[in-house]
Amino acid sequence: MLDRIRACLPSLAPAEQRVGKLCLSDPRAFAKLPVSELADRAHVSKPTVVRFCRSVGYDGLADFKLKLAGTVNEGVPFIHRSVDADDKVGDVLVKVVDNTVAAFLKYRNDASSAAIEKAVKALTEAYSNRRQIQFFGVGNSGIVAQDAQHKFFRLGINTTAYSDGHMQVMSASLLRAGDCVVIISNSGRTRDLMDATDIARKNGATTIVITASGSPLASAGHIHLSADHPEGFDKYSPMVSRLLHLMMIDILATCVALRIGSSQLQPLLQEMKNNLRNKRYA
């Protein structure tokens, strides 16, 4: 959570930056103090304190303080440890597993249920109105986009996934109001994805971005689902980011499935299962 605040600081208004710096200087005290005291210490108004909490991805001050208290009191039981060239197999195993668990627990503590709710609502409405749902990603994120397309396809939703920049721009050019596109990026700084997001948004489509807080892509979409983790981009292949993105897609797909309802989905899934029986050995 504190990493997210640090990442968001440069993009915040000066008054909100003062609130963020106050939080970072003493997060335990920030979680306990009333809004009036926080406003006085940061030399801002009380509404600015609330705006800061929403700007960094939380529902409001109460939600922010609850998550902050959980972070500083309990923390995450593992810290991120980089894999080194001289690590033995056992060391790599422990580090990769610990880093993944840490990222998942951090997301559980930091995630904004309000942002997820908005994304689920947009996806469900696009499905109900028979509008397009598309997934964009490049590189490792392109693989996540394909996985997302498969998960939503199994729910009977007509979706597409594109990992080529030209195809993303062409597809975004055909989107219209009521359509929905999910853009997935580890860095949030990929030019092709930024271009496609801008085009889709100009055409009236709802844009959901899964990316790091404080990145250009985070502020380019209608709905931002924060995917923050300590993994760098310059050492080995991104692993934690891909798993974190896959988990977030699982959350969206599960929530949309629940909105659609079992009465619609169960017959469809059962028919798929029956038709696939002859594809397997007995």
To which CATH superfamily is domain 113-269 assigned? Glucose-6-phosphate isomerase like protein; domain 1 (3.40.50.10490)
* Mean pLDDT per 10-residue section of the chain, whose length is 282 residues: 85 93 90 92 94 89 85 55 78 81 84 92 96 95 96 93 97 97 95 97 98 93 90 58 94 95 87 87 80
Does the domain at 2-73 match CATH 1.10.10.10? Answer given as: yes
pLDDT on residue 200: 98
pTM, 2 dp: 0.73
Residue 236's pLDDT is 54
Give the mean pLDDT of the chain: 89
How much is the pLDDT for 243? 92
Q: What pLDDT sits at residue 100?
A: 84
pLDDT at 234: 46
Please provide the DSSP assignment of the chain as one string.
Answer: -HHHHHHHGGGS-HHHHHHHHHHHH-HHHHHHS-HHHHHHHHTS-HHHHHHHHHHTT-SSHHHHHHHHHHHHHT--SS------TT--HHHHHHHHHHHHHHHHHHHHHH--HHHHHHHHHHHHHHHHTT--EEEEE-THHHHHHHHHHHHHHTTT--EEEE-SHHHHHHHHHH--TT-EEEEE-SSS--HHHHHHHHHHHHTT-EEEEEE-TTSTGGGTSSEEEE---S--SSSS---HHHHHHHHHHHHHHHHHHHHH-HHHHHHHHHHHHHHTGGGS--
Q: Where are the domains of the chain?
A: 2-73, 113-269
- pLDDT, residue 28, reads 87
